């Protein structure tokens, strides 16, 4: 099982729609989680951090389900500018180094 798994999409949604992405992780000891946004040919940018049950920032809501080991990202009232790849990221601690493990990303295309 991959450490971090996401549905690659693409998710094609009309403007104004609500869309949700799921991400599953394998390490039950993980305590923190992140959603990053990556535009085409650009670096990833932090969208949200999730440390407890969830987090909300405007149109974006992240939820954590520890029992089922998944994190979700909900985007309400989608805008054209939300079109991007959304990366689920989980830190891994221990071993030689501490590092971030990136999912393969979910591609969102918001249509006019």
Partner 1 sequence: GAVVSQHPSWVICKSGTSVKIECRSLDFQATTMFWYRQFPKQSLMLMATSNEGSKATYEQGVEKDKFLINHASLTLSTLTVTSAHPEDSSFYICSWGAPETQYFGPGTRLLVL
Interface with partner 1, residue 50, by CB under 8 A: no
Asked if 98 touches partner 1 (CB under 8 A), the answer is yes
DSSP H or E stretch at residue 107:
strand 106-111
Q: In this chain, which of 44, 78, 86, 110 binds partner 1, going by CB under 8 A?
A: 44
CA distances from 70 to 9, 41, 63, 73, 80 (A): 17, 28, 8, 10, 27
CB nearer to partner 1: pick between 18 and 93: 93
Spatial distance between the Cα atoms of 22 and 5, rounded to a whole number of angstroms: 9
Residues that bind partner 1 (CB under 8 A): 32, 34, 41-45, 49, 87, 91-93, 96-100, 102-105
């Amino acid at each position: 099982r991959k450490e971090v798994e996401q549905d690659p999409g693409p998710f094609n949604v009309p403007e104004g729609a609500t869309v949700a992405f799921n991400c599953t992780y394998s390490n039950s000891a993980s305590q923190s989680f992140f959603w990053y946004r990556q535009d085409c040919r650009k670096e990833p940018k932090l969208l949200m951090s999730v440390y407890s049950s969830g987090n909300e920032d405007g149109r974006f809501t992240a939820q954590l389900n520890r029992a089922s080991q998944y994190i979700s990202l909900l985007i309400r009232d989608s805008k054209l500018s939300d079109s991007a790849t959304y990366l689920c990221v989980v830190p891994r601690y221990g071993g030689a180094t501490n590092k971030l493990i990136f999912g393969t990303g979910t591609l969102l295309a918001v249509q006019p």
